[in-house]
Amino acid sequence: MGFKNILFAVAALSPTVYAQGAAYAQCGGQGWTGATTCVSGYVCTYSNPYYSQCLPGSASTTATSTPTATSTPTTIITSTTKVSTTTSGSATTTAAVAGNPFSGKALYANPYYASEISTSAIPSLTGAMATKAAAVANVPTFVWLDTKAKVPLMGTYLANIRALNKAGANPPVAGTFVVYDLPDRDCAAAASNGEYSIANGGVANYKAYIDAIVALLKTYSDVSVILVIEPDSLANLVTNLSVSKCSNAQAAYLECTQYAIAQLNLPNVSMYLDAGHAGWLGWSANITPAAQLFAQVYKAAGSPSQHKVSQLILSLIPVAMEFSLQLRMLGEIGAISSALGFGVRPTTNTGDALEDAFVWIKPGGECDGTSNTTAARYDYHCGLADALQPAPEAGTWFQAYFAQLLANANPSF
């Protein structure tokens, strides 16, 4: 089994294609040089001097209330383009991926994350910090499908990516998503408990969630998609079976993960199975059982052929110690450190042939867990001395965290 590495932070991959802004895309603001009109059904709505956004409305207008752009165009392909959710004829299936799936691709900027920055981050920032925050919104970031209700959003984004590519995006744009909805999720902690319970039909519900994703991927078979599969899951089966919730979830985790990998094994899809990080599974006592577990899952899923399995995603601690990187902390490093900053932009220039890319998987500013000791989902890691506090619930916006990432960014925005 060929393990490959994918990680967290990266570079500009291509020129921007401009036409009309997609649903919830940026459409104006100080320094903005992209589309200033929106697709049908959406209006370019002024939010603040640094950000206007395509929001639901009855007409498409220009962002006349925003300042004139003064900066040079960004080199990231963003979601600002003409979008069509209908197609004529069947989609052309993308050829099976060979080699590095990030190579020769531009990555799609996450409109949901851009919306969070617009509504939650920028209003409390001023001057240069607000301008820099708007720039962060244009960095490609993975979309987290952490509930079944978010799956239709994947279809919206894939439709927009298809439109970008049909409009001549060069290099072509790929979609990036995180599959994250296992029953009894986050078994060794409480911060990110999910919507499904094993005791209440969770395995069947999870398979239905995967089936819904598969249906969309088949509908948009002409769009290249890169998936990260279930962060913080199988690694717990290596080190945390002494935790009753993890031992009770072991069989379900294996069944669900194998089902996901087998069903998502499509020609236009590349998968990276989360394997924790070097500070978690890199110890000599953990390496062999981890390798055996991932090999077992890979083989049980039918040995997917399309570059599907990776080791060491998301939080490479040795790298993080040397460079300031945007991280999704896992395992025993489960809280947000008080010294993190945004790092390298998405790039395939990793300096190591075994590392496919540095990418932003976890949107910086979304909290990993609360420091409130009275909360039902409190995780003690979030209350440690070096954790940023006070921290809200996992998945909610953490403004102090975002401001810290922005202030400590290296390279700066």
Q: Among all residues, which ones are annotated catalytic? A: 186, 232, 368
Nearest to 386 by CA among 342, 340, 341, 337: 337
Phi then psi dihedrals of residue 135, to 5 deg: -70, -35
Pairing of strands 225-229, 173-179: parallel
Q: How many CB atoms lie within 10 A of CB 304?
A: 18
d(CA 52, CA 29): 6
What is the Cα–Cα distance from 326 to 323, expressed in whole angstroms? 10
381 is an annotated ligand-binding site residue: no
Contacts of 35 (CB under 8 A, 6+ apart): 18, 19, 20, 21, 25, 27, 80, 81
213 Cα distance to chain centroid:
15
In angstroms, rounded to a whole number, what is the distance separating the alpha carbons of residues 39 and 248?
48
Tell me if 280 is assigned to a ligand binding site.
yes
Strand, coil or helix: 216: helix
* 146 annotated to bind ligand: yes
For residue 255, CA distances in Å to 234, 240, 259, 296 come to 11, 18, 6, 11
Spatial strand order of the sheet with 355-357 comes to: 310-313, 4-6, 355-357
144 annotated among ligand-binding-site residues: yes
Annotated binding site for substrate: 144, 146, 277, 280, 362, 366
Annotated binding site: 144, 146, 277, 280, 362, 366
